[in-house]
Chain A
Amino acid sequence: MTTDIFLWLTQDGVTNGAIYALLALALLLVFTVTRVIFVPQGEFITFAALSLSLLEAGRTPGTIYILMIAGLAAAAIEAFGALRERAWRRLPRIVLLYVVLPVAVAALVAWAAPRRFDQWIQALLVLAMVVPLGPILYRIAYQPLANASVLVLFIVSMAVHYVLTGLSLVFFGGEGLRSRAFWDAKFKLGVVEISAQSIWVVAASVALILALWFLFERSIYGKALRATAMNRVGARLVGIPIVMMGHLSFLLAAFIGAVSGILIAPITTLYYDTGFLIGLKGFVGAILGGMGSYPLAALGSLVVGLLESFSSFWASAFKEVIVFTLIIPMLAWLSLRSHHVEEEEE
């Protein structure tokens, strides 16, 4: 192995690692706040990346239908609850949030799609389509079971994952898509040529991580999220609305997923089910970091990215095996170290 191959592989590993780090943070956030192991995190990547490619081609992405269907389902659940409690005053808000908003976004996208706006505007449209899916999913699938065990929530996650992958296949089709690069430039750094897109990925990841850190440290919502993550009962006792924190964490997770999708769309060919594997690697990163600390999760994801790129050089057929085997010793160590407290009961 020569120096330039080493540098190439490192560059590749860091680029992928940065994406995994973002996903690891989202998974960790959702897990600590709601105890949901959020398997469908990867679907946000798929939806965002494929929507971006379709918008570029001037076509209306199927994401708007997914958004409207999910919105209507959430509205039906909310409205049913409100009617049963005869809380008529809640109805306008429900309609506004779960019907008017998704339909408005869908209409906007359908109007904008054939006009082929600038790539930045398309990215914003993608965010507008994908991000609301986070809280809506939480409302439909997780909020009714918010106090169930981690295992039940995990099974729900699997179900949500399969539903979303199915919808993805219906609306995006089986063939892969790839979008244009935001910035086509390349920089020579010694022997290594770094593409502007990978600089984008790393810079955006670092910026997002800093923003999250700022949110957690400085804002009241961030502090409330942290409090909920530490102790749900305690947080509720001091008046933190747990349900709202759930919505907020899913909103952030969807946002992070969508951004990752937009970042990754020009780098590789994405299929309707690619996101799952990317999300899974973010999950491995989070586990390597001990599933409890944000900096360690980011570091773990970087390790996953580098390991993946080096193993693809040495033994490409066993790449995934190597990456996923990594979690076994880590899990063994975690379970030996933990003094097993069932803190979930109330």
Chain B
Amino acid sequence: MPKTLGGQPVKYIILEDGSDATNAGKNARKLITEDKVDVVMGSNGVPSSLQIAQVAAETQTPYLCLTPIAVKPEQYKWTFSVPQPTELMMGAVAEHMKANGVKSVGFIGFSDGWGDLMYNATSSLGAKYGYKVVTNERYARADTSVTGQVLKIMAASPDAVVVGGSGTGGALPHVALVERGYKGRIYHNHGTVNAEFIKVGGKNVEGAIAPTGPLIVPEELPANHATKAVSLDFTKRYEAAFGAGTRNGFAGYSNDAVMLLGAAIPEAAKKAKPGTPEFRAALRDALENVKNVIGAHGVYSPTAANHNGLDERARVLVRVESGTWRLMK
């Protein structure tokens, strides 16, 4: 983390919410009222993020959210979401399916909010990309078997299957589908892209396709890719600090949030002094007006109507090839 942002000295205060949304809300309040912070950033969990967004709106503090909650600027005027929106990510999958003539899609996902999010993204993109979602099967991460769901998908014989799980949880349906002899492509989502997924799935998950941010495979990006230099630099620094192979999307979100701030602060500092409500308001306005901030995940150009501002450059498709995630060419 840089020591100064936009010429202003920065102090980072880190609190732990223990993945508890109530704690997250309390912590945010503490940071704002006691520590008088100018900006709040954080939480990799959706429920916690929503809590913090509430507090941010109440106290009129800019908030950089690290989960892809769908931020409506009219509702959460002070919240900016750093990660790629689900529709953007799944759009890459939809595009790939269209290019490969997929007309029917089987869906199997977690029986929780993440599964819903994935199902909604997959089915809402269907009309535009010319496919129909034919099953909506659900399973829990702790399930010991998905035979029933998989049989139902096989009976519907879709051209491709989208798995709405995350991490190692995505491996169970994939392995079951392969074991039952499913021959179509199996797509995952950005929550599944980690090394553990491959470790658990082994040979059976070869060929799994998933969208992700470019910082997972910066080495393989074409030289003219907008974020190549930044992504590569970030993974190098991160793995130097935490060990080879530790790169992940979440660390990139924090990095990009700081970069966004770095771009917005000089503008805000012209209008008011840090530590005042005027500065917080100016910072919020500046965040809506920064353009082409190149982060590890993509190029950010947030606007008043879009508090995320990422475009297609923030996503790549990766595929499991001989035991690692590789960029799809």
- Residues of A that sit less than 8 Å from B by CB: 2, 5, 8-9, 11-12, 15-16, 19, 175-178, 195, 264, 267-269, 271, 273-274, 277-278, 308-314, 316-317, 319-320
Contact = CB atoms under 8 A, between A and B. Distances in A.
B254 to A, nearest CB: 19
A312 B144 contact: no
A27 B172 CA distance: 28
B119 to A, nearest CB: 10
Contacts of B171: 176, 178, 269
Given A5-B151, A5-B155, A317 B111 contact: yes
A300 to B, nearest CB: 18
Interface in B185-222: 196, 199-202
Given A175-B168, A175-B196, A176-B167, A16 B144 contact: yes
Interface stretch (B26-34, B70-78, B98-106, B134-142): B134-142
B148 A268 contact: no
A313 B145 CA distance: 11
A12 B145 contact: yes
B169 interface: yes
Contact of A310 (B142, B146, B148): B148
Interface in B141-164: 141-149, 151-152, 155
A164 to B, nearest CB: 16
Given A311-B148, A313-B148, A176 B155 contact: no
18 contacts: A5-B151, A9-B148, A16-B144, A175-B196, A175-B200, A176-B171, A176-B200, A195-B179, A269-B168, A271-B142, A271-B168, A309-B147, A311-B148, A312-B147, A312-B149, A314-B148, A319-B140, A319-B143
Nearest to A281: B144
B142 A316 contact: no
Contacts of B146: 312
Contacts of B143: 268, 312, 319
Contacts of B179: 195
Interface of B: 108, 111, 136-149, 151-152, 155, 167-169, 171-172, 179, 196, 199-202
Nearest to B202: A178
Contacts of A310: 148
Nearest to B146: A312
Nearest to B140: A320
A268 B151 contact: no
Listed residue (B148, B201, B202) with the most chain A CB atoms within 10 angstroms of its CB:
B148
A175 B167 contact: yes
A316 B172 CA distance: 15
B149 A316 contact: yes
B147 A12 contact: yes
Most buried by A among B141, B142, B167, B201: B142
A271 to B, nearest CB: 6
Contacts of B169: 176, 269
A314 to B, nearest CB: 8
A169 to B, nearest CB: 12
Given A5-B151, A274-B144, A277-B142, 16 more contacts: A9-B147, A9-B148, A11-B147, A176-B167, A176-B169, A176-B196, A177-B168, A177-B199, A178-B202, A268-B143, A268-B144, A269-B169, A312-B147, A313-B151, A316-B111, A319-B148
Nearest to A8: B151
Nearest to A45: B144
A32 to B, nearest CB: 27
B122 to A, nearest CB: 16
Given A269-B200, A316-B138, A264 B144 contact: yes
B145 A16 contact: yes
